[in-house]
Structure formats: C-alpha cells, structure tokens
Structure 1
Amino acid sequence: MTPLPIRRARPGDAEALSLLDHATWSALHAVTPCPQPPFAPFFDAGVRPEDHLVADFGDGPVGYVRLGLPTRLACNRHVRQVQGLVVAGHARGRGVGRALLRAACDEARRRGAVRITLRVLGRNAPARALYASEGFVVEGVLPGEFLLDGEYVDDVLMGRPLTAGRSTRPPSGRHRD
C-alpha cells in the first residue's frame, strides 16, 4: 500500500484548512458552537503553520493534525499534545486519520518528545477507537466536564509513550528494594 501524502502546512494552506475545519464541524467532537462567518484567521500568533501536518492528495488538504505543547511550562516540554485532528468527509475510511496520527507521533519524536497526549469527548467513540488502536490509553476522565446541548459530556484524557521499551508514566510511589 502506498503511504498517504503527509506534509507540513504552509501559510498558503490557511483558507483551505479553515474551510475544512468548518465543513467538518460536528457536535460529536466540538465543544464550541458551530462557527458562523466571518471566520477568524486559521493561523495566528498562537496557531502557526509549523504546528500542523496536512494530508494532501495533490488537489488541496483533505485533513490535518495540530500538534502543540500541553502547557507553557519548561518542565513538560518533553510532551506534545494533539490539539486537533480533522479529515474531510469524502476522505474518511481511507486511513487519512491514522496516517495523520502516526505522522504526529513521528513529528513529536523529532521535536524531542517522549510522550504524546490528547483530549477527546467521551461520546466520540470513533475517535477513541482510532486512538486506542494506535496505542493511546485512557489516563483520566473528567466526568461531565462539558455541558453540550443539554447533556453533560466527559472529557477523556489519553496518552502514550513515544519511546520504545521505556515507560514515561510517573512512578506509583511504591518501590521495591
């Protein structure tokens, strides 16, 4: 099978990524209301092209993943966080989401990370299944963290190590002599 074409985003991708973002909005994964025009710029000082990997079959982006730091703290610079994963409806079922997720893990490693995390709504079973199939495990649940359309929805925290054979989980507090 031919690898899917994944590349770094470029400033010129902003409009296409914005349109993709708005076209794929869904209550299944969004915590904000459906955006209405005029839309804010896709890239800004806090969301830069270099924070995105794009799936592009040659005629424009069909998906993207945003990779960022979970906090501004120096003590957790070894962690990267998936802060968005979007695939166009017509490109779903072709492995685009999986390819983007794998590329994000590779990019996080390249940037020196030893762990990668993400947050997903508890009701988003398809995304949770994808993440689990790629080695992410549930590391925490914030029950009823969001009130969306009159329903309390859990915020599920998932993560995985990026280094082979080395746990990046903190010690449990117990040890053996």
Structure 2
Amino acid sequence: MPQTHEGPDASASPVDAVAVRVATLADDAALAALDGDTWSPLHAVTPRPVPPYAPYFDERHLPDDVLVAEEDGRLLGYVRIVPPTPLVSNTHVLQINGFAVAEEARGRGIGRTLVRAVCAEVRRRGCRRITLRVLGHNAPARALYEAEGFAVEGVLPGEFFLDGRYVDDVLMGRALTD
C-alpha cells in the first residue's frame, strides 16, 4: 500500500519524499528502536524501555497492522492499528494502538500523513470507525487528532499516575463513513 502525502499543494509539501507503506518483518528492529527512542512521559504509560529493545512484532502485533513512513530507506514513523475488542459486534472498529514519529522528522507533517494513511487503510478494510486513547496532557497529539476529525468521546479522569501526577485517559474517535 505505498502512499505519499496528498494535499492541496502536495508539490510543495515537506513530506514529498516520504512514502507510507505496510510494515514487514524486516522493519522489526527499526520499529523497536523508534519506539524506544521516542519514549516520553507525554504519551507512555509503561516504563522507559532500555536497549537492547524487545522485538516489536509479536502474536498480537503483526506487520500487516502497522503502517510506516520512510524516506530514503530510513524509518521516520509508524502507526499501529488493532481491534479494540475481540467481539464480533465490534469488528467495524479499529483502534490506533501505537504512534510515533522520530524526533528529527517532527514538524514536517509526517504525523498528519500517517493519520490520514491509517484512516484510509481502516476504510479500505471495510471498517466504519477508528478510535484511540491519548493522555490528557499530550496537547500536541490531541491537536493533531482533532485537526484530522477525531472528537473526544470520553475521559477517564486520573486513570494513570505518571511522573508524580494523575493523568486523564482521553478516548477519541472518528466515523469513516461518507
């Protein structure tokens, strides 16, 4: 599923050379490193990973469920989708369950490109909704999601205790129907 950024003036876009594609098993080490390198209390609820990083892919996280952004063979970001529940009645929904952009690539529109690409992929899979969870204090991520049509659908106040304070877990979603 190779994709490039498309927008009103894609020819002037700073992400022109960035391709979005489905991950492969060969991306495992680069994804694990990107995950570790981008760890931050702004978005992580798990302890900081330390090298050597654990494999990125496992029985619940497969390459087909990850889109990667790359430029000149370098992995610059990823977004992972998973079913939010194992229920048949919920198969029309997929959830963003991992998202990162390399520090040196931030501010170039790569995050926006990945969000748009994953929405298109979820639609292609026949799903009607996409959801996510984001920490309440992660203003940059929340602003990106809101700009791309996601709305706050619920808040779990003080759901996590991180860095010495209680942090809300914000549930966001977006319909993918026309």
TM-score by length of 2: 0.90
Equivalent position SS for 1:54:
strand
Q: Where in structure 2 are the equivalents of 1:35-74 lying within 5 Å?
A: 35-74=49-88
Percent of residue pairs bearing the same amino acid type: 61
For 1:92, the aligned partner's letter is R
Equivalent position SS for 2:108:
coil
Aligned residues: 164
After superposition, the C-alpha distances for 1:80-115 in whole angstroms (9 at most, x for unaligned) are 101111000111111100000000000000111100
Partner Cα distance (1:43, 1:60) in 2: 18
Distance of aligned partners of 1:32 and 1:115 in 2 relative to their CA distance in 1, 3 Å threshold: same
Partner Cα distance (2:31, 2:21) in 1: 13
After superposition, the C-alpha distances for 1:7-31 in whole angstroms (9 at most, x for unaligned) are 0101100001111111100010000
Q: Where in structure 2 are the equivalents of 1:43-122 lying within 5 Å?
A: 43-122=57-136
For 1:30, the aligned partner's letter is A
Instruction: Give the gaps of 5 or more residues in structure 1.
Output: 165-177
User: Aligned match of 2:137 in 107, 123, 135?
Assistant: 123
Partner Cα distance (1:126, 1:134) in 2: 13
TM superposition shift of 1:39: 2.2
Partner Cα distance (1:141, 1:24) in 2: 25
Provide the residue aligned with 1:7 in structure 2: 21
TM superposition shift of 1:59: 2.3
Give the structure with higher Rg (CA): 1
Partner Cα distance (2:52, 2:105) in 1: 26
1:163 corresponds to 2:177: yes
For 1:127, the aligned partner's letter is A
After superposition, the C-alpha distances for 1:112-136 in whole angstroms (9 at most, x for unaligned) are 1100000000000000000000000
Equivalent position SS for 1:30:
coil
Partner Cα distance (2:145, 2:163) in 1: 25
Provide the residue aligned with 2:7 in structure 1: none
Equivalent position SS for 2:49:
coil
Instruction: Give the gaps of 5 or more residues in structure 2.
Output: 1-9
Partner Cα distance (1:137, 1:21) in 2: 26
Provide the residue aligned with 1:171 in structure 2: none
